[in-house]
A and B are shown apart, each in its own frame.
Chain A
Amino acid sequence: MKNYIFKYHKWAIVFVLVAASLSLPSCKKDPQPTPSLTGEVSFEFSHVWGLNMAPFYLNQTYVHPMSGDTLNINMLKYYISNITMTKTDGSTYQVPNSYYLIDPSENIITIKDIPAGDYKKVEFLIGVDSLRNFSGLQTGALNPSNGMFWSWSTGYIFVRVEGTSPQSETGIFMYHLGGYESPFIASHKKNYDLGNEVISINSQTKPTIHFNVNAAKFWHGPVKVADLNVIHNVGENAVSMSTNFADGFTLDHVHK
């Protein structure tokens, strides 16, 4: 009898241990990747004006280098999304869920948890991809209350630029550029080969890639504030203006 109880007792202990081992891990999250195998990179977008790349600030009056129009921009916002990084061995890393709303005061994005390695190329979209553009309610940078969402025509304003100009009939201009209604697609993919400036990403480094964004470029195409001071819809003008703006993105330098 004593022997039986002892056996019973022993199985009970085993049961407790098994039960504990089965149930406790379900409370924990998956282990994080080892820190040393990842690193971060920052993109800095410096806003400039005109051919001589004058520093650009909101609420300052600039003369346009081509039209001579006087322009004072009080809002400039745009999405940078779908960041992809290419290693020197040609393999690519797509940064998951990479959506950032940039304006001149929030112009640095830092991307964490990038697999360590040497990277030679970066790619991003100015705008939001068509999948996210149409797939319902989003959060974070894509939250519809960020002033970059069209409530009446589902989708994002990819680039929003507003301000005042004496050349405008109403004194103001307001360009909301976006849309995926074929053939009027206002998002633009940008590709940058870092050339000799390959960046090493690991737990020790914090490289920054500097881009210049030339705000004067909006008016390098057919749209002039005197003729057209409001765009709030998809269409040819939104495509043309956003294409010009996208052309104004240049790789300036890299901090390793």
Chain B
Amino acid sequence: MENEIIKVYFVGDQIPAEENNNTPRERVKMFSQKVKAIKDELKKDVVGQGEIIDNVIVAIVAGGNVLLEGVPGVGKTRLVRSLGRVLSLPFSRIQFTPDLMPSDVTGANVVEKDENGRLNTKFRKGPIFANLVLADEINRATPKTQSAMLEVMQEHKVTVGNEVHKIAEPFFVLATENPIEQDGTYPLPEAQMDRFVFKLIVNFPSDADLVDIVKMTQKTLDETASAVITGEEILEMRRLASDVLVADEVLRYAIKLVSGTHPELKTCAPSTKKYVKYGASPRAAQALVTCAKVKALMEGRYNVSYDDINELAYPVLRHRIKVNFTAVNDKLGVDDVIEMIIKETKKVKK
């Protein structure tokens, strides 16, 4: 185990042919096995939340960041911690507080004495330099600190001074936030929100799940999930997923769905005109198709379907759409509006 060499590839890197000599069918098989293994391990620590786990896996394979929103105690942090262990990747946790500074996240240049006693500046990496970062209570940090996350979340690099520090792939930020407590919090900037591929709502567990949670925690609070997948394997899964086929019509539908969230466009859905203040960015369309490919492969398909797009529309669009006062007045949430847009876009499709 000590001698095992982990090769890390960055996005866009070509895997050498000799390392990619498995048949397509074997690679797909490996994909399914890994997904299953991740799920099984996570279930050891997290009770219920099957859909959340699935979507988190989708986001990780797709290479996106995830924002988990839920009331305290529903297992958000535990899920991410467990994931950190399952993925067998360097994991770091940043507890976001109002006094957290950007350098506390990204790292900073510090003055150090070398062996000869001379003073040199040296970049000391912050906690962001990991493959999996848990940004706990992300909305408690000031906008200044949150802005420090923008570059790393999108471009997977950190610029300090004149130096650019690349972050090893795979890299994900899994952030949590509390929707109830508003005191001492700062709403996330739209630019940052857009960098999360998914916003997942972690609901209160069902009674049955709650029973299991209570029973499990009576025995031990330890998290038992173990590593089942390497970074290299995740990148391989990502590459495989990117090859999944998308029919032109399905692709057009995904784009129509995203552009349909823009009330300023003539082609938008009627509900958009009524309830949406501003729509999703082009990143949403990219995220929708990329994640749909992963989801299709997870379900054993080699092509994306309308259902994939429709199901993923909620986590992809809910933090990218801003509803207006009419929606609030009509007691409609973002998910309700998305549902309406989907239905109206389906009609156009037919």
Asked whether A and B interact, the reply is: no
Using a CB–CB cutoff of 8 Å, the interface residues on chain A facing chain B are: none
Using a CB–CB cutoff of 8 Å, the interface residues on chain B facing chain A are: none
